[in-house]
Structures are given as structure tokens and as C-alpha cells.
């Protein structure tokens, strides 16, 4: 049987983006099929997997969800087990999340608990979002696999291994992707008056977008408008006829999200008039906030406090997005941060989780689940 460290390293080498997790799914299935099958039901959903472990005397079903996808980032670590998929990396810790889920599945399968458990290996967390369609598919086709309570964790680079952090209520933001295409008129660099330059229009719009949070949102509310990618033009001596801005919006409530979108649309209309162009807006996919069930989360924090190997922290909410929010929208449960002690953050090409988190977290999660 492979060690969990070996599994993490092998998963790390094959990062795949949302709904392309074919090798990852095959790898996980091989590990799951190698277990004693007596209590297991295994169902595939797109590139995801659902594994049900029948309890000894089940009164409820406890869910454990892991995400599966990597990011389109070129890895810059010097690890011996670097990504073998050029231009892709597990830079958000989903390799660790999957390994912990497998480790927990092994333990619960080896020594079953009274209740049943369901492990959700969910694709496409980074985008376009697998949780909502997976939840809806379970409701429609596999009511029997729906958990009564659901748990998940996310790696936290800023904390040492052994740290658990979460909070009752709102933990992560509402999100919306943002894609803006600006269409003008391309032309010779020497004849700007015959063109509609979209590099200038996009630069102007980008700067105006930055006024939304500072001037249109109540300072007591919170919002983020991030443009992570900006592209325009073809070569140095042609005025660009097309530019694209790609970003994401984060807010702590749905009303503020609408205010931000209203301002984006108003500034786009103003850009159209000012630069004689067309601005198309696509909001891509949006995630529901992560709202931890208050009493379950308080009890979880009390449990963590009693564990000698754990430092538990009541943390602040963050502007991170997580489509796990869609599960918590309908099923009680919680998401928590687990420290991995990396000097590089999430979505960084040098992220390097301390693998000791796996050996710490599997028994911690197992004993918490046995206490439920
Ligand atoms: C945990 C984490 O980093 N999640 C991502 C989710 C991204 C959702 C979507 N693609 C977007 O950009 O809005 C995050 O960036 O917070």
C-alpha cells in the first residue's frame, strides 16, 4: 500500500484544471478500488467520485468533501516531485486535500464508525465550480448519498502545522468572475486618429474600476475588485482594436455584489461613450459564500481546543471564494483552515506545503468524526 506522502507527491505531479481531472480521477479510483470493498459504494460523477462507507448502525451520514483541480500556473519550486504537466500546478493545496480525504477514507473503512460516511471528491473548485452541479446531481439521482452534515478544510500557508482556524457563520466571500472585452478599431501606429485604441480604453477602465471599492461601497461593508489579467493588441506598431480584462469580484453579502456589478456596468457604458467602443461583460461563474453552521463550528472549535497537538484559532472571515459554500447552503457543516507553514501563499508558483500536515490532520479529523 502506498504511503500518504507518496500519494500526495504523485497527485502533485499531475495537476489538471476544472473538469479535466481525468488522470486524477483514475489515480484516486485505483487507490479506492484497492481498499476492502465490503462497505463501499463508489459512484463516478463527471471527473469526480463519490464514495459511501456504510456505517455499523447508521443514524446519519457524515460528508467529507475534497476538491481535485489544479491551476494554470507554471510551478517554480525545486521539488523532486514537481508538476509534470507543463504550465499547471497544485498551487492551492488540493493535492493535500485529496490525500487527507483518502487517508481518512482508509481509516474509516478499516475501522467503521456507527454512522455512514460519504466522501465527495469534487472537481473544478477553482472554476467553473463543481460543487453546485454535484450537489444538484446528488439531489436528483442519489438522495441516498447526500450527507446530513458536511465537512471540508483548506490549507493555510500562514499557520504552522497543527493549527486549525475557523469561525461560526460567514467564513468566505461571495464571488463572481469578471471578463470584459473591449472592441474598438485596429490600425497603423502612425495614424491614431483613424483607430479606436482599446489599450488606452482598457487602461482607463481598469483605473476607474479601482474607484468602485473606494467610492461606491460603504466603508463598513467589504468588497474586492481584482483584475488579474489584462491583454491587448498584437504587435508594437499596431494600435490595438481589442483588449480584455479578466478578474474577480468578492463581497461579504449579495447586496454589495449587486452594487459592484451596477457600477461595473455604468463605468463600461461611460467607457463606450468616451472611447467610441463596445464593452462586453461576462460574469463567468459565481460562488455562494461559505457560511459555517454556528453550533457545529463552535463545538468543533471546542473539540480542537481539547486536542493537545492542536492550536485552535477563532479567525476572521476572508475574501477567499470556495464553491463548498453551495454544499453549506443546504447541508449543515463547516469548513476550516489547516496550517501548512509555507512562506509562499495560495496561488503562488512557489507554494510548498509542509507535508507533516497530512500525518497530523488524518488522525485529528478521524477522532473528530468519531466524536460526532
Ligand atoms: C480557495 C481559493 O483560492 N479559491 C478560489 C476560487 C476562485 C473562484 C473563481 N474562479 C473566481 O476567481 O472568482 C479563489 O480565488 O478564492
What residue ranges define each of the domains in the chain, with the CATH number in brackets? 4-171+289-371 (3.40.630.10), 174-286 (3.30.70.360)
48-74 CB burial, b ≥16 within 10 A, e <16 = bbbbbbebeebeebbbbbbbbbbbebe
Cβ atoms of residues 326 and 289 within 8 Å? no
Residue 30 confidence class, pLDDT cut points 50, 70, 90? very high
**Mean of the pLDDT values across residues 23-31?**
98
234-279 pLDDT, tens digit per residue, is 999 999 999 999 999 999 999 999 999 999 999 999 999 999 999 9
Residue whose Cα lies nearest atom 8 of ligand 1: it is 126
- Output the CA 109–ligand 1 centroid distance in Å: 32
Q: Using one digit for the tens of pLDDT, what is the confidence trace for 195-225?
A: 999 999 999 999 999 999 999 999 999 999 9
Nearest to 299 by CA among 339, 266, 334, 327: 334
pLDDT at 243: 98
75 noted as active-site residue = no
Looking at 252-324, which runs of residues are DSSP E strands?
A: 278-282, 286-287, 290-292, 311-314
Residue 340 has a pLDDT of 98
What are the pLDDT digits (tens) for 108-159? 999 999 999 999 999 999 999 999 999 999 999 999 999 999 999 999 999 9
**Identified catalytic residue from 16, 21, 31, 67:** 67
Say which residues have a Cβ less than 8 Å from residue 102's Cβ, sequence separation at least 6: 4, 7, 28, 31, 32
| Average pLDDT score over residue span 306-329 | 97
DSSP three-state, residue 361: helix
Helix (H) or strand (E) holding 240: none
Of 291, 289, 339, the closest CA to residue 319 belongs to 289
Residues in the chain: 372
Ligand 1 neighbourhood includes 248 CB (under 6 angstroms): yes
Query: Across all residues in the chain, what is the average pLDDT?
Result: 98
User: Model ipTM?
Assistant: 0.97
Amino acid at each position: 500500500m502506498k504511503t500518504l506522502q507518496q500519494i500526495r507527491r504523485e497527485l502533485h505531479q499531475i495537476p489538471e484544471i476544472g473538469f479535466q481531472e481525468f488522470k486524477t480521477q483514475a489515480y484516486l479510483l485505483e487507490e479506492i478500488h484497492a481498499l476492502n470493498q465490503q462497505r463501499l459504494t463508489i459512484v463516478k460523477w463527471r471527473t469526480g467520485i463519490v464514495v459511501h462507507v456504510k456505517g455499523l448502525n447508521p443514524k446519519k451520514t457524515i460528508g467529507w468533501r475534497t476538491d481535485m483541480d489544479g491551476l494554470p500556473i507554471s510551478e517554480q519550486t525545486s521539488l523532486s516531485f514537481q508538476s509534470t504537466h507543463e504550465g499547471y500546478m497544485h498551487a492551492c493545496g488540493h493535492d493535500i486535500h485529496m490525500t487527507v480525504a483518502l487517508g481518512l477514507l482508509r481509516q474509516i473503512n478499516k475501522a467503521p464508525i456507527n454512522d455512514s460516511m460519504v466522501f465527495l471528491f469534487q472537481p473544478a473548485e477553482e472554476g467553473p465550480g463543481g460543487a453546485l452541479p454535484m450537489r444538484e446531481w446528488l439531489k436528483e439521482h442519489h438522495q441516498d448519498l447526500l450527507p446530513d452534515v458536511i465537512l471540508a478544510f483548506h490549507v493555510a500557508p500562514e499557520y504552522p502545522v497543527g493549527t486549525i482556524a475557523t469561525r461560526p457563520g460567514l467564513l468566505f466571500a461571495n464571488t463572481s468572475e469578471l471578463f470584459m472585452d473591449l472592441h474598438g478599431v485596429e490600425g497603423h501606429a502612425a495614424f491614431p486618429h483613424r483607430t479606436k485604441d482599446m489599450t488606452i480604453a482598457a487602461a482607463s477602465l481598469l483605473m476607474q474600476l479601482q474607484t468602485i471599492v473606494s467610492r461606491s461601497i460603504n466603508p463598513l461593508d467589504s468588497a474586492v475588485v481584482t483584475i488579474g489579467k489584462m491583454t491587448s493588441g498584437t504587435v508594437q506598431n499596431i494600435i490595438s482594436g481589442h483588449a480584455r480584462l479578466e478578474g474577480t469580484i468578492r463581497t461579504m453579502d449579495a447586496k454589495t455584489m449587486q452594487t459592484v456589478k451596477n457600477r461595473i456596468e455604468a463605468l463600461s457604458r461611460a467607457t463606450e461613450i468616451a472611447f467610441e467602443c463596445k464593452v462586453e461583460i461576462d460574469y463567468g461563474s459565481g460562488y455562494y459564500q461559505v457560511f459555517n453552521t454556528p453550533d457545529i463550528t463552535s463545538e468543533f472549535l471546542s473539540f480542537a481546543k481539547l486536542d493537545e497537538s492542536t492550536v485552535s484559532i477563532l479567525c476572521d472571515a476572508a475574501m477567499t471564494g470556495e464553491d463548498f459554500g453551495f454544499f453549506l447552503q443546504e447541508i449543515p457543516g463547516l469548513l476550516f483552515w489547516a496550517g501548512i507553514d509555507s512562506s509562499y501563499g495560495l496561488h503562488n508558483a512557489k507554494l510548498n506545503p509542509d507535508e507533516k500536515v497530512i500525518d497530523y490532520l488524518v488522525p485529528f479529523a478521524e477522532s473528530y468524526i468519531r466524536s460526532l
